[in-house]
Amino acid sequence: MSPVISIKDLSKVYSSGFKALDRVSLDVAKGEIFALLGPNGAGKTTLISIVCGTVSKTSGTVLVGGDDNVSAWRRARTRIGLVPQEISLDIFSTVANCVRFSRGLFGKPVDAGFLEGLLKDLSLWDKRAARVVELSGGMKRRVMIAKALSHEPEILFLDEPTAGVDVNLRRDMWALVRRLRDRGVTIVLTTHYLEEAEEMADRVGVVDKGRLLLVEDKASLMRRLGKRRLTVTLAEPLPALPAALDGAPAPRLDDGGRKLALEFDAGEGGGAMAALLGRLDRAGIAYVDLETGNSSLEDIFVGLVGEGTR
Amino acid sequence: MNLAANPLGIWAIYRNEMLRSLRTLFQSLVAPVITTSLYFVVFGGAIGSRVSKIGGVGYGEFIVPGLVMLTILTQSVSNGSIGIYFPKFTGSIYELLSAPMSAAEAVTAYVGAAATKSVVIGLVIMATSTLFVDLRIAHPFWMAAFLVLTSVAFSLFGFLVGVWARNFEQLNVVPTLLLTPLTFLGGTFYSIDMLPPFWRAVSLFNPVVYLISGFRWSFFGIGDVPVAASLGFALAFIAVCLGTLAWMFKTGYRLKP
Ligand SMILES: Nc1ncnc2c1ncn2[C@@H]1O[C@H](COP(=O)(O)OP(=O)(O)OP(=O)(O)O)[C@@H](O)[C@H]1O
Ligand SMILES: [Mg+2]
Please write the tens of the pLDDT for every residue from A150-183.
999 999 999 998 877 788 888 888 888 999 999 9
Share of chain A above pLDDT 70, in %: 91
pTM: 0.84
The verdict on residue B203 lying in a domain is yes
Rounded to an integer, the average pLDDT of A290-308 is 64
**pLDDT band with cut points at 50, 70 and 90 for residue B3:** very low
Q: Each residue of B81-118: pLDDT tens digit?
A: 998 998 888 888 999 999 999 888 899 999 999 999 99
Burial of A277 (0-12, 13-18, 19+ CB in 10 A): middle
Give the distance from residue B102's alpha carbon to the nearest chain A alpha carbon, in angstroms: 8
Q: Looking at the complex, does the CB of residue B113 fall below 8 Å from at least one CB of chain A?
A: no
Using the beta-carbon criterion (under 8 Å), do B91 and A84 form an inter-chain contact?
yes
SS3 (DSSP) at B47: helix
Give the one of A53, A77, A104 whose C-beta lies nearest to B8's C-beta. Answer: A104
> Regarding predicted confidence, which is higher, A241 or B151?
B151
Pocket lining: A251 vs ligand 1, CB cutoff 6 Å:
no
Residues of B in contact with A104 (CB under 8 A): 8-9, 11-13, 15
- pLDDT value at residue A310: 36
SS3 (DSSP) at B54: strand
Q: What is the pLDDT of residue A119?
A: 93
pLDDT for the residue B132:
80
In angstroms, the CA A275 to CA A273 distance is 5
What confidence score (pLDDT) does residue B224 get?
A: 76
Average pLDDT over residues A184-189: 94
pLDDT on residue B94: 93
Looking at the domain assignment, is residue B257 inside a domain? no
Tens of pLDDT, residue by residue over A15-36, are 898 999 999 999 999 999 999 9
**pLDDT over 90 for what percent of chain B?**
24
Helix, strand, or coil (residue B57) = strand
Each residue's pLDDT tens digit, A122-133: 889 999 999 999
Q: Does the distance separating the beta carbons of A106 and B100 come in below 8 Å?
A: yes
For the segment B163-210, what is each residue's pLDDT rounded down to a tens digit? 888 888 888 888 788 888 888 788 777 777 777 888 888 888 888 888
Task: Categorize the per-residue pLDDT at B250 as very low, low, confident or very high, splitting at 50, 70 and 90.
Answer: confident
Please answer yes or no on whether A77 and B94 come within 8 Å at the CB atom.
no
- Interatomic CA distance for residues A148 and B7, integer angstroms: 20
In terms of average pLDDT, the best of A27-36, A215-224, A229-238, B17-26 is A27-36
- Whole-number pLDDT of residue B13: 94
Q: How confident is the model at residue A309 (pLDDT cuts 50, 70, 90)?
A: very low
Residue A14 Cβ contacting ligand 1 at under 6 Å? yes
Within an 8 Å CB–CB cutoff, is residue B100 touching chain A?
A: yes
- Structure confidence at residue A18 (pLDDT): 92
A85 near A163, Cβ under 8 Å? yes
Tell me if chain A has a CB within 8 Å of the CB of B19.
Answer: yes
Judged by CB atoms closer than 8 Å, whether chains meet at A88 and B257 is answered as no
How many structural domains are present in chain B? 1
Ligand 2 centre from A104 Cα, in Å?
27
Q: What is the predicted ipTM?
A: 0.84
pLDDT of residue B113: 95
Interface test with B, best of A15, A45, A64, A105 (most B CBs within 10 A): A105
Does residue A115 or residue B175 have the better pLDDT?
A115
* CA nearest ligand 1 atom 17, residue: A45
- Give a yes or no: residue B256 inside a domain: no
For range B2-13, the mean pLDDT: 81
Q: What is the mean pLDDT of residues B240-250?
A: 85
| Lowest mean pLDDT segment, chosen from A84-88, A217-221, B132-136 | A217-221
Q: How confident is the model at residue A7 (pLDDT cuts 50, 70, 90)?
A: very high
Rounded CA-CA distance B238/A103 in Å is 31
Q: What is the pLDDT of residue A126?
A: 93
Q: How many residues make up chain A in this entry?
A: 310
Q: Is residue B43 part of a domain?
A: yes
Cβ proximity of B186 and B178 under 8 Å = no
Average pLDDT value for chain B: 84
A260 interfacial to chain B (CB closer than 8 Å)? no
Percentage of chain A with pLDDT > 90?
45
Is residue B244 assigned to a domain? Answer: yes
**Domain coverage including residue B79:** 3-251
pLDDT the model gives residue A1: 59
pLDDT in tens, B219-235: 888 777 788 888 888 88
Is any Cβ of chain A less than 8 angstroms from the Cβ of B252?
yes
Q: Rounded to a whole number, what is the distance in Å from the CA of A91 to chain B's nearest CA?
A: 10
> Is residue B69 a part of any domain in this protein?
yes
The domains of chain A, with CATH numbers, are 5-222 (3.40.50.300), 227-294 (3.30.70)
Better-predicted residue by pLDDT, B35 or A309: B35
Taking all residues of chain A, what is their mean pLDDT, rounded to a whole number? 86
Query: Is A85 in CB contact (< 8 Å) with chain B?
Result: no
Answer yes or no: do B99 and A105 touch at CB < 8 A: yes
| Percent of chain B residues past pLDDT 70, beyond the cut | 93
